[in-house]
Amino acid sequence: MSGNSPTQAPVVRSTESIRNVVLVGPTGSGKSRLFDHIVDALVPGKAARGIHESSTGLRAATVPGDGVVITLIDAPGNPDFVGDVRAGLRAADAALFVVSAADGVDAATRALWHECAVVGMPRAVVITQLDARDADFAATLEDCQAHFGSGVQPLGVPVAGSAGAVSSIADLLLGEIHDYSGGGDRTVRQAESEHADVFDTYQGSLIEGIIEESEDDSLMERYLSGEQLDFDTLERDLLTAVAHGSFHPVLPVSAENGTGVKVLLHMVAKAFPHPGLHPLPRVTTLDGHSEVEISADKDGPLVAEVVHTQSDAYVGHLSLVRVFSGVFRHDRTVHISGHLELVGGGAGEGHGPHDEDQRPGAISAPFDGELLGKTEAIAGEIVVVSKLSAAQTSDTLSDPANPLLVTPWALPDALLPAAVAPATRADEDKMPVAFRELAAEDPSLRIEHDPGTGQVVLWTTGPAHLDLILSRLKARFGVDVSRVPVRVALKETAITKAQAKGRHVKQSGGHGQFAVVDLTMEPLPRGTGNEFHEVVVGGAVPRQFIGSVEKGAHMQLDKGLLAGWPVVDVKVTLHDGKAHSVDSSDMAFQTAAALALREMASPATMGLLEPIDTVLVTVDDDYLGAVMTDVSTRRGQIVGSAPAEGEEGRSVLTALIPQLELLDYAISLRSLAHGTGTFRRELSGYEMLPERLVKDHLSTAKHA
C-alpha cells in the first residue's frame, strides 16, 4: 500500500459516534474501487492505492469522517462467498449496495437486498461506473426500483460533462449542480435551464417519497397545495427515513474521479444509524435456551462476535471482532464459545462445539491491511484481535464469569462436492490439521469423510470457493491434493429369489475346517432391513453353529456381494447343511455362509439401489420452466411447486432427484436460473438404479 496512512487509530468517544457500513455488490461493479476512494477521501494526504476488486474475504478500514468514526467493510463480490457477505452484514449497521450503471442489478444482489429488508437494515444504493461505454443511469435506476421497491429514489442525477464524461451531479433537493471537473474538488452552482428536464423527471417523485415517510402528516397537503418546502425540513425527514430503513436513497458516484463521494459520506455520517439504534442479534445462555437481553452499552456485559478469521504468516491468528455490548480489553481474559450445532450447523470436520477461556493479544483498528493499535473497544466498534487461537468465525466472545452465546448469521449451504486425495503420504499426514484450520476460518466449508466411499469430500458453495480452499491448502499448509471423481454410496439388494451352497472344506493335517450350508436369499420391501431365518431339520447344522451362519451372512451382506456396496432389504434363510464332529468350527460356518451368498450373486439376481434426495429449488418465476425441464433430464420426479413465501415473483419447486445427478447441480442451477436459484436437499430414500446404468457402476465396483 502506497501513500500516507494513519499513525494511530481514530478515537472513539461514544457508541453514538460510530458508523459501521458494509459495501455489497458483484465483482466488477466498482465496489472495491469505491472503498479505496472513500478511504482516500477521509485520510488527509493519502494517495490513491492500487485499485483491485475484492473477490474473497473481507477488507475493513476504520477512518474519521464528518464528526464520526466510520468503519467500512468491503464484502466479496463473487456469489460463492455469500457467507462472508452475510458476516459483513452482521458486523455492520447499514449497507451500501453498489450497482454498475453498465450492468444493472444481479441476482445475488437482489437476494441480499431481500435479506436486509427482512431485518430492516438501512440501505442506500450507489450507482457506479457512470463513464462506462454501456452506462445508462436512468435504466439502472429503473432496474433498482423494479427490484428494490418504490422506496428507492435518487438524491442526485449525473450530468454529462465534456466528451461525455460524467463530472457533474444534479442535486435534486438543493436544486444545485455539483461540478467535480476541477480534479476532484467540488464546485457548486445553481441549476440552469439546460438541466430542467432532469429536475422535472426526478425531483417530484423524490420529494413525494420523502413526505410519505415523514411523521408530519401535514407535509403532503402543504406540498400538494403548492407550498415550497424548505430544504432543512426535507433533509430532516430524509435522514430519519433512511435511518429507519424505510427509504433508500440512490447516489451516483464516480470511483474514477471521486464525483459524488463527499455527498455519499455526508449521507453515511448523518443518515446511517449508530450501533445503539440498530437491532442486535439474538443472545442466549450457552445451552441456547434462555434468551438474554443486551443493548449497545459500554456498561453492559461483554458480548462480541468473531465475524472473520485468518492466519497470517507473520502475526499469526487474527480475528475481526464486532463488539455488541460492554468493553473488550486487551488485558482481560474472554470466554470463547462456538455452538453451530444449536442452529443446525456444524456438520463435518472442524466445526464441533467448543468452549475455552483465553487471553487476547493486541487490539487494533483495521486499516485495509494495516493494524492501528488500541487498548480497548467499546460497544459498537469493529476491531482486529490477535492471538485468539481458539476462536473460529462466528464464535462468541464474552465474560468468563457470564458466558453467553450470539446466534450466528445464516450460513450458506455448501452444496458443491469435490473429492480430494493426497499426493503423498506426507500430504495425508498434514491434511487433518490443515482441514481443521480452514474449517475454523470458514463456517461455510464442510469437510466430510464419507464412510460409504472412503473419500474425503470438500463441500463448498461454488467453484471459486473450492479453488480458494485448494489454493490455501497448498500455499499455507503445504498440502498437495488432487481432484478425483466424487463417488455416491450405493446399496445392493436382491431382485429375485436365489439359492446356493457354501462349502468350506480344508484339510492340512491336524484339525481341518469343515462347514457346508444351503442358503436362499430373496427380496424384502424397501426399508425393511435384513432378516435371517433358519428352517434346518434333523440337526444337519448343529445348534451351536446356527449363530455362526447368521454372523457370517450379515458380515458378508455388509461388505456387499455384487459391487462392494452393503446389501439391504433381503431375507436370508438357512435350509440345510453338514458338519463334522472334529473339523467344524464357528469360523468355518461363517466362511461357508459368505461363500454361499457370493455364489448366488449376479446381475440376474441382484440390483443396485441409488440414494434419492428431496430437493427444494427456489427460483425466479421466469426460470421455473427451464428448471423443471432440467429436473426431468436428471431422472428427477417433480412433486409440485408453490409461490415462495414472502418472495414475490419466486417459486419453490419440490422434486425427487437421484444423488448421482446432483454432483454438479450447484453450478448448473446458477447458470440455468441466471443466478436466481437456490436449493436445499435431504435424503428421501433409495430406489433401483436403472438397468442401463448398472453396467457402468459394476465396471468401477469396489469389490470387498
pLDDT score of 164: 55
Q: Domain 491-602's class?
A: alpha beta
Q: What is the DSSP string of 591-630?
A: HHHHHHHHHH-STTTEEEEEEEEEEEEEEEGGGHHHHHHH
Do residues 320 and 328 lie in contact, with contact meaning Cβ atoms separated by under 8 Å?
A: no
| Distance in angstroms (rounded) separating the CA atoms of residues 34 and 59 | 12
H or E element at residue 194: none
Whole-structure pTM value: 0.88
Of the candidate CATH numbers 3.40.50.1220, 3.40.50.10240, 1.10.1040.50, 3.40.50.300, the domain formed by 17-277 belongs to 3.40.50.300
Q: Which three cell numbers stand for residue 448?
A: 466430510
Under 8 Å between Cβ of 171 and 189: no
The CATH architecture assigned to 283-406 reads Beta Barrel (2.40)
CATH topology of domain 608-699: Alpha-Beta Plaits (3.30.70)
pLDDT means over runs of 10, the chain (704 residues): 62 93 92 89 57 59 90 92 92 96 90 86 94 91 92 90 71 90 78 90 92 86 88 90 90 84 90 92 92 95 95 80 96 94 72 93 87 92 94 96 94 93 96 91 92 94 95 93 95 97 85 93 95 93 96 97 95 96 93 97 95 97 96 97 90 98 96 92 95 81 46
Q: What pLDDT, on a 0 to 100 scale, did the predictor assign at position 56?
A: 55
Which secondary structure element, helix H or strand E, spans residue 266, and what is its range? helix 261-271
Task: Examine domains 416-484 and 608-699 and report if their fold is the same.
Answer: yes
Spatial separation of the C-alpha atoms in residues 235 and 245, rounded to whole Å: 15
CATH superfamily of 416-484: Elongation Factor G (Translational Gtpase), domain 3 (3.30.70.870)
Q: How far apart are CA 307 and CA 404, in angstroms?
A: 16
Helix (H) or strand (E) holding 50: none
Amino acid at 293: E
Angle (nearest 5°) at CA 319 between 315 and 325? 140
Ranges of each domain in the chain: 17-277, 283-406, 416-484, 491-602, 608-699
- Cell output for 577: 447343511
Model pLDDT, residue 84: 92
- Distance (Å, rounded) from C-alpha 475 to C-alpha 360? 27
What is residue 371's predicted lDDT score, i.e. its pLDDT? 86
pLDDT at position 700, please? 65
Task: Kindly tell me the burial class for residue 56, based on how many C-beta atoms sit within 10 Å of its own C-beta (0-12, 13-18, 19 or more).
Answer: middle
Q: 60, 320 in Cβ contact below 8 A?
A: yes
Question: Between the CA of residue 484 and those of 216, 419, 423, 661, what are the distances in Å?
Answer: 65, 5, 11, 17
Q: What confidence score (pLDDT) does residue 312 get?
A: 67
Burial 137-172 (b: 16+ CB within 10 A, else e): beebbebbbebbeebbbbbbbbbeeeeebbbbbbbb
